[in-house]
Amino acid sequence: MVQNDDILFEPFLLGDLTLRNRILMAPLTRSRSQQPGDVPTEMNAEYYRQRAGAGLIIAEATQVSPQGKGYAFTPGIHSEEQVAGWRRVTDAVHEEGGSIFLQLWHVGRISHPELQPNGNKPVAPSAIKPEGAKTYISADSGMVEIQTPRALELKEMPGIVEQFHQGAENAKRAGFDGVEIHAANGYLLDQFIKSGSNHREDEYGGSLENRLRLPLEVVAAVIDVWGAQRVGVRVSPTGSFNAMEDADPTTTFGTFAKNLDALKIAFIEVVEDSFQGNHFSGRPEAVIEAIQESFTRTYIANGGYTFNEARQRIAEGKTDLVSFGRLFISNPDLPERFRLRAPLNEWDDSTFYGGDEHGYIDYPNLSEQST
């Protein structure tokens, strides 16, 4: 039975942008950009066009510089060719009446010299090897171990901030509606935030205030380009992916949220649970509550949500919006399937990363299945 009055299908004001529904497409690395050059293609444009029924698409993690690259075939936003490639994507989404933000990304230590300019070591807050973390450097490489990174020097911090600032400017030229800053999943900004990966003894490490310094400088620089109402931040407080850990995630991310609230950004997206690893069994309710008590604007929940759980958590005031990942991979028309309570396609995780159209733009929508 169709239920048009469902809470998931109500319009929502995110910053100054009105979303058509509360069903968001999460940022999803798919490793299908054109090589060389890390350039989005017409195939990528079709992929996002198919999913434009989302209230908001948060496009895949996109490196803000050559130094920020950590995996083969991921897209960038630091060259003119990349800007033009992303323009194909944003035009396709807008033609379908959709909205799309770009996720700005620097991987930090989760890289490999073969992916770095001049074969340099990847950078990080501290020279700590992320035990068990892996990446892939080519179509044929398989997964390779992450090596010990180089600790960033104090004089390099403004350059990191500038990479995000330029990436934000390029995203605007590419036609995006806003940006999300990637401070989750064990990448550079998350590495600075969490105590397990940041052992610095200068003003960018040690105390919580110092560990938050670089991420907050990046947020301020991106706001300078977009204005606060078109900027969001993604965090993963209890995620263990990429060998991450924080001694006190409730305090750390409650405090980070308070600082982000003071900057008046539009939203915070929280990876509450993850198939890639989580230190907490289930959703970390105490951490979620600490973030929501500190952050007065939009809270976006992420992490293995079902249709019914999303409805329930919104109704209970535990989130404003929900971002869906794997369900959007296999169901390009996910909001319509939810609206009609229609069966969902199952995803094929062997096609998540790399490859061609198979497992990318060939999942059928409802109209194709009914003919």
Domain presence at residue 370: no
CB 330 within 8 A of CB 347: yes
Residue ranges of alpha helices (H) inside 108-201 are: 157-173, 188-193
Q: What pTM was estimated for this model as a whole?
A: 0.97
What are phi and psi for residue 73, nearest 5 degrees? Answer: 75, 15
**Side chain identity at 315, as an amino acid letter?**
A
For residue 114, what are its two tokens?
């073969």
CATH number at residue 167: 3.20.20.70
For residue 274, what are its two tokens?
């993850």
Domain presence at residue 2: no
Domain presence at residue 225: yes
Domains identified in the chain, total number: 1
Domain presence at residue 105: yes
* Bridge partner residues of 39 (DSSP): 34
Hey, is 179 helix, strand or coil?
strand
Query: Measured between alpha carbons, how far is 270 from 180 in angstroms, rounded to an integer?
Result: 12
pLDDT for 4 = 43
Query: Measured between alpha carbons, how far is 178 from 303 in angstroms, rounded to an integer?
Result: 22
Domain presence at residue 369: no
Domain presence at residue 70: yes
Query: Measured between alpha carbons, how far is 245 from 299 in angstroms, rounded to an integer?
Result: 22
Q: What is the pLDDT along the chain (371 residues), one digit of tens a residue?
A: 334 469 999 999 999 999 999 999 999 999 999 999 999 999 999 999 999 999 999 999 999 999 999 999 999 999 999 999 999 999 999 999 999 999 999 999 999 999 999 999 999 999 999 999 999 998 888 899 999 999 999 999 999 999 999 999 999 999 999 999 999 999 999 999 999 999 999 999 999 999 999 999 999 999 999 999 999 999 999 999 999 999 999 999 999 999 999 999 999 999 999 999 999 889 999 999 999 999 999 999 999 999 999 999 999 999 999 999 999 999 999 999 999 999 999 999 999 999 999 999 999 999 888 65
Q: Domain residues for 125? A: 7-364
**On the CB side of 272, how many CA atoms lie within 13 Å of its CA?**
26
* Bridge partner residues of 134 (DSSP): 145
Residue ranges of alpha helices (H) inside the chain are: 42-50, 80-95, 157-173, 188-193, 208-211, 213-226, 249-262, 285-294, 307-315, 326-330, 334-340, 366-369
Domain presence at residue 1: no
Which one of 48, 187, 204, 360 is the catalytic residue? 187
CB 288 within 8 A of CB 294: no
Active site residue 187: yes
Domain presence at residue 233: yes
Burial class (CB in 10 A: 0-12, 13-18, 19+), 329: buried
* Bridge partner residues of 24 (DSSP): 56, 323
Residue 244: name the closest of 218, 288, 277 by CA: 277
